[in-house]
Amino acid sequence: MKKQTISLKDNAPKINFGSLKSRNYSVSVKYFDGETTSSSKRIDYETGFTITPNKNIWLLDIHKHSFWFDGHEPDLISELIADELSKTIYPVQAKINEQGTFLEISNFNHIVNSRWYRNKLKATEKYTTQIAKSFYDAFERNLENRNVFEKSMQYDLFWNLLFHPKYIDYGNEHSVKTDLYLAVVPYEYPIQFTGKQKVNTEITDYHSVEIHFRSDEMKAHDYFIPKNKIASKDNIFMRLDVYYDLDVYYLFPMHTRAYFEVYSKDTEGRKTPIKRIEFSQYQQDTEANKITIAEKRSPFQVYEEDENEKEIYKTYEGKNYTYQEWKKFEDEQYKLYKEKKSKRGFWDFLG
């Protein structure tokens, strides 16, 4: 059978907001040193989106919760404070346009006036160390005004990857030179990675299409240069690969994966790993994405029919079925079976 593809009007994917309401994800960020396969640091959390139309824009309510640090719930002071401050920020409401571009945070006043000032006294009384005070002071500076707060959100890998431009004109070759900004250095503005971004219009076996950004190789940031390698820092590089899986029904992110690596190269070009960061965001319950083909077709999907799809696949009780017709018939029969089974009473189970 031929591969199904999506159609790109003006060579740009577009979000089908339609009946798109919400998504939930599991996020994991892992940090690695050298060639080790075990992470030196790991952060896991849950996140979710609720989408509401509002005139010519959309409101994206972003939730972030259930943090785990290195495989356990928060227990160190820094972890507990980070968890509490996250509850002050989230849920955050972002305004986006039809390309998914971030416009502004619309509930800033609520975050400051209702959440922070309500929780500030309780939080600062709970943790009174100098380290805790420095956390709170830095956090409060980010709440000075909306612009400062919005800029502070860019120091987060999750935020960078969520709002990276994906719904752009990819040209006839479905590939474009572009930049991706990612906050790989703690407490510093995101680094600009320049590279190629491609969209593959072939539909995967799990009902998605892939956008892949691959950066050019570039000199490593000083933060990643080991002290014993400063003299040879011209041979230390970094590179970024990011993969977005968009479901074919809404062209909204299902899964997001980012792989950042720092490595040295010898005179023959052989690489030796120094640092790695792996970010993964996997959607929960992807079956909920599906639009039943019999009821409604995705506006993006091209349904190609080849000769095999018209051939008789099976004959049952004198009726001929194509492969697609048979699969639909089987699904209907299974639904009837489930309905009958659910109606069985207590006495049906007594032999």
Residue 56 resides in a domain: yes
SS3 65: strand
Does the predicted model carry a pTM greater than 0.75? yes
Residue 167 resides in a domain: yes
Looking at the fold, whether 228 and 315 belong to one and the same domain comes out as no
Write out pLDDT tens, residues 167-222. Answer: 999 999 999 999 999 999 998 999 999 999 999 999 998 899 999 999 999 999 99
Of 254, 306, 304, give the one whose Cα is nearest residue 7. Answer: 304
Looking at the fold, whether 213 and 318 belong to one and the same domain comes out as no
- What CATH number does residue 240 fall under? 2.30.230
Write out pLDDT tens, residues 47-77. Answer: 999 999 988 899 999 999 999 999 999 999 8
Looking at the fold, whether 180 and 254 belong to one and the same domain comes out as yes
Q: pLDDT below 70 — which residues of the chain?
A: 1-2, 230-231, 291-318, 321, 323-331, 333-351
Give the pLDDT score at 342.
52
Looking at the fold, whether 233 and 117 belong to one and the same domain comes out as yes
Looking at the fold, whether 284 and 322 belong to one and the same domain comes out as no
Provide the domain count of the chain.
Answer: 2
Looking at the fold, whether 44 and 185 belong to one and the same domain comes out as yes
Which secondary structure element, helix H or strand E, spans residue 330, and what is its range?
helix 323-342
Looking at the fold, whether 233 and 332 belong to one and the same domain comes out as no
Residue 330 resides in a domain: yes
Residue 301 resides in a domain: no
Looking at the fold, whether 116 and 258 belong to one and the same domain comes out as yes
Tokens 């979000």 found at: 15
Give the pLDDT score at 215.
98
Are residues 30 and 39 in contact, defined by beta-carbon separation less than 8 angstroms? yes
Residue 296 resides in a domain: no
Looking at the fold, whether 151 and 208 belong to one and the same domain comes out as yes
Give the pLDDT score at 313.
54
Looking at the fold, whether 239 and 319 belong to one and the same domain comes out as no
Residues sharing a CB contact under 8 Å with residue 4, sequence separation 6 or more, in sequence order: 202, 203, 301, 302, 303, 304
Looking at the fold, whether 241 and 327 belong to one and the same domain comes out as no
Domain extent, residue 58, equals 5-289
Give the pLDDT score at 1.
58
